[in-house]
Amino acid sequence: MIPKPHRLGRVTGPLLLAAVLTGAATACDGPPTARPHPGAGHPTVSAADMPLPARVPVTSVGASPTAWQLPMDAYQYTPAQSAEVQGAVYSLANSCMRDLGYSTDLPTRLHPGPDHNAFRYGPVTDAQAAQGYRWMLRMAAPDGAGALTPTSEEYGALLGKSRQGRNGRPVPTGGCLGSARGTLDSRGGRVDLPDVIRAIADDSFALSQRTAQVRTVFRAWSACMRRAGYRYPDPTAPARDKALVGTAPSGTGPVPAAGPREVAVARADVACKRQVGLLSVWYSVERTMQTEAAARHAAQLAPVPAAIARTVRNATAVLTAGGHPG
């Protein structure tokens, strides 16, 4: 689908509650959706702020997302850190809800999500292609607790929509989730990372596709696919072909198996990416664009690594203390 990749580990109230309502016990931004890719056609950092490079040196990369370290990765929670921080938010929220007279039990032991760039360029290995374009959905599918369905009363206390809890005590500003985030934000922590990080990560993906280098390798990929019997303009297109992949399942239901044609297209996709060297070119252009953007936003980005480290230390203390501030 080239769905929204797991990148930033942003833990926000709406995302947390969405995970609760769907039973998601995987610490990621949510399961992949039918979105073709991040920032598709709608860059949020202007082209003037992220100019397109004329030509960049190409660095050879393997077919493993762990090898695709992009500059913005240094300003994100790792999947393991994100799991710990989100678990701490849930743990604090549970304590807060108990203080208000509820028995809410949000999961606090969460499974780390996939690597940041796992879904960035679609299927890139034969094993992934064997599942068509559904391996991304399977990787991100929640595998923890069953569906949790807070009552409307609990919902109000979690998000701060209610003034008082079941026992009459006042609900903290922002609800129990907001209070939890505030605790982790103490002493220099920052659960919600600056928006510029996501903007650069998303927009390098979208804007890189406008560069001459990437357009050239896309045309070569498309020609390779035509020789294999498939007509797609670029590698983001097959996953958006509803006639091929249908509609992505919602919620926590099982992911349907890919049909023979979908698998065949995915295998041709992977083979053509290899043949034309698509991954190395696309990655190299994105890396250059992110590096240049990071330099322009250095003042905003400089405090982020220390804030992440402090937030993780705060989260560790909370989990060690069983859901109470350290």
Q: What is the pLDDT of residues 172-209, one digit of tens each?
A: 999 999 999 999 998 899 999 999 999 999 999 999 99
Q: How far apart are the first and last CA of the chain?
A: 42
Residue 158 counted as domain residue? yes
User: For residue 248, is pLDDT > 60?
Assistant: no
326 domain-assigned: no
Structural domain total, the chain:
1
Residue 246 has which token pair? 């249908």
Structural domain includes residue 8: no
Residue 7 lies in a domain: no
* Spatial contact of 61 and 68, defined as CB atoms under 8 Å apart: yes
Q: How much is the pLDDT for 282?
A: 97
Helices (H), 228-259: 242-245
Phi, psi dihedrals of residue 27, rounded to the nearest 5°: -80, 85
Residue 316 lies inside a defined structural domain of this protein: yes
The answer to whether residue 3 sits within a structural domain is no
- At residue 210, does pLDDT exceed 60? yes
Confidence of residue 115 (pLDDT cuts 50, 70, 90): confident
Could you tell me the residue range of the domain that residue 216 belongs to?
A: 13-320
Q: 18: which residues sit within 8 A by CB, 6+ positions away? A: 24, 30
